[in-house]
Each structure stands twice: as structure tokens, then as C-alpha cells.
Amino acid sequence: MPNETDNNNSLPAIILVQPQLGENIGAAARVMLNFGFQDLRLCAPRDGWPNQHAIAMASGAGRLLDHAQVMTDLRSALVGIDFAMAATARERDLVRPILTPQDAVRDLFQRSNKGQRTAIVFGPERSGLTNADVASTNALIAIPVNPQFKSLNLAQSVAVICYEWMRTTTVGGKETVGISQPLAEIADKAKFVDLLVEELEQTGYFYPPEKAEGMRFNLRGLFMRMDLTPPELRTLHGVRRALARHSHDAHDSV
């Protein structure tokens, strides 16, 4: 069983995007601590923060709420995170691996052991995560449910994933071989895509206008999904700059 001092570094952060009910935030915090999780991040909780309903439901796990980082959006919450998975009930029209909780936890556990900082992202109660938010993550977790009644409560979803972590890590995870080098941070990948999109805007690439948003979205998703090491991300920046600078120089000389 992992001890508390190890946990902050090695267990995934739990990120709740736009949670609506304080009760669910509190219940999520409580069950996180039940299974040894401590890093709670909240993106734009609907009813503001702090929240008395959350405090009441956390009963004994209040310090997770005290230390929760509150951000305006998922992108800020992912700063410092190398690899993120999104728990989602809906089918997505996105190119992403979909894992069972069991396989997801095995993967996250191995990444943690290699020093990667990981996160699991949960969407708002009613609507779930937007595709844009899902696109910032590397993979999806689908909890197996009764097809006739799929809608899991938010805190119950957190419970299932955190329990699965405890179950897997106390039994001993199975080894598969992933990328062993440290990975570039999600925020740094996002910055790359921003710059690429900016360059492409200047070339008139996003055409016709009615397709531009979808094109940008697909392009972003494609790079955000990648496991990239920092040197590889630098390579991509180099490629981007080489093509763009060349083009700008040429322009300048015109």
C-alpha cells in the first residue's frame, strides 16, 4: 500500500471540470482520500469556491478541499501534467484510445513509476466533458456500465477509478512497455499547437472559413494525443520555425 507522503508525487491528480454540485465535490474528495489520492484540482466550479456543501460532504477529508487548486479552465489545471486521461460515458468522435478502468490504471501506474505526472479528468455532472476538453487529454477511460442505465454520478465515477487504482496497485500492476523517457508537459504541447495554428492562419491554410474551426480542432487533437518527449517537442518547434522563418524571410526580402 502506498504511503501518504509518496502519494502526492506518484498518484494521479483528479481534475473536476465545471462540477455543478458542491456535494459531489465533497464526496469525490472523501473517496479520493479513502483510496489515498490527495491532489484535487477544480476547474470553474459552478457555485464558486469554497463551497459549504462540499465541506459538509467531505467529512474528514476537508484538507483535500483546503488544498484543492481552483483554476479557470482545464488547460490551466493540466500545467505540470505529462499525461492525462479523461473519464467519459459518451462515445466520442475523436481519435483516442479508450481504456477500461483496469487498463487505464495499469498504464497510469507505470507512468507514475517512471516519474511522469499524470491526471484523470472528469466532466460536469449533466453534460460531461466537451470534445475540446477531451482533445487536451491523451486517452479515454470508459467505466463498464449497464447499457440501459449509463449515467454514473460524478463522485461515484471518481470512486470507481480511485478504487481501481488501490486494487491494482496493492495487487501489483502488470508490466507493459511504454515510452520510458520523460514526456513533454501538456501545456508545452498546447503552446506548440498555438504557434503552429498561428503560422498556418497566415498561410491561409484554414480554408474554407466554415471548415476552419473543425480543421483547427482536428489539428490540435492530433498533436495533443501524442506521447512526445521534450527533445521531440523541440524538434517539432524547429520544423515549424524552419518552415515558417524560411517563408517569412522570403517575404521580407520581397
Instruction: State the nearest-atom distance from the C-beta of 123 to a second copy, in Å.
Output: 16
For a second copy, the closer of residues 49 and 205 by Cβ is 205
Determine the Cα–Cα distance for residues 37 and 195; give it in Å rounded to an integer: 35
Q: 79: Cβ–Cβ under 8 A, 6 or more apart, which residues?
A: 185, 186, 187
Instruction: State the nearest-atom distance from the C-beta of 227 to a second copy, in Å.
Output: 8
What cell does 84 get? 492525462
For a second copy, the closer of residues 77 and 140 by Cβ is 140
For a second copy, the closer of residues 67 and 245 by Cβ is 245
Determine the Cα–Cα distance for residues 36 and 38; give it in Å rounded to an integer: 7
Determine the Cα–Cα distance for residues 110 and 113; give it in Å rounded to an integer: 5
Instruction: State the nearest-atom distance from the C-beta of 254 to a second copy, in Å.
Output: 6
Q: How far is CA 231 from CA 135, 137, 184, 235, in A?
A: 22, 20, 8, 6
Is residue 50 reached through a cis peptide bond, with omega within 30 degrees of 0 on the bond before it? yes
For a second copy, the closer of residues 33 and 71 by Cβ is 33
For a second copy, the closer of residues 187 and 244 by Cβ is 244
Instruction: State the nearest-atom distance from the C-beta of 115 to a second copy, in Å.
Output: 21
Instruction: State the nearest-atom distance from the C-beta of 30 to a second copy, in Å.
Output: 6
Q: 127: Cβ–Cβ under 8 A, 6 or more apart, which residues?
A: none
For a second copy, the closer of residues 115 and 211 by Cβ is 211
Instruction: State the nearest-atom distance from the C-beta of 106 to a second copy, in Å.
Output: 10
Q: Mapping DSSP to helix (H, G, I), strand (E, B) and coil, where does residue 153 land? A: coil
> What's phi and psi for 43, nearest 5 deg?
-105, 115
Instruction: State the nearest-atom distance from the C-beta of 72 to a second copy, in Å.
Output: 29
Count of other CB atoms within 10 angstroms of residue 16? 27
What is the 8-class DSSP label of residue 137? Answer: S
For a second copy, the closer of residues 47 and 103 by Cβ is 103
Determine the Cα–Cα distance for residues 242 and 18; give it in Å rounded to an integer: 39
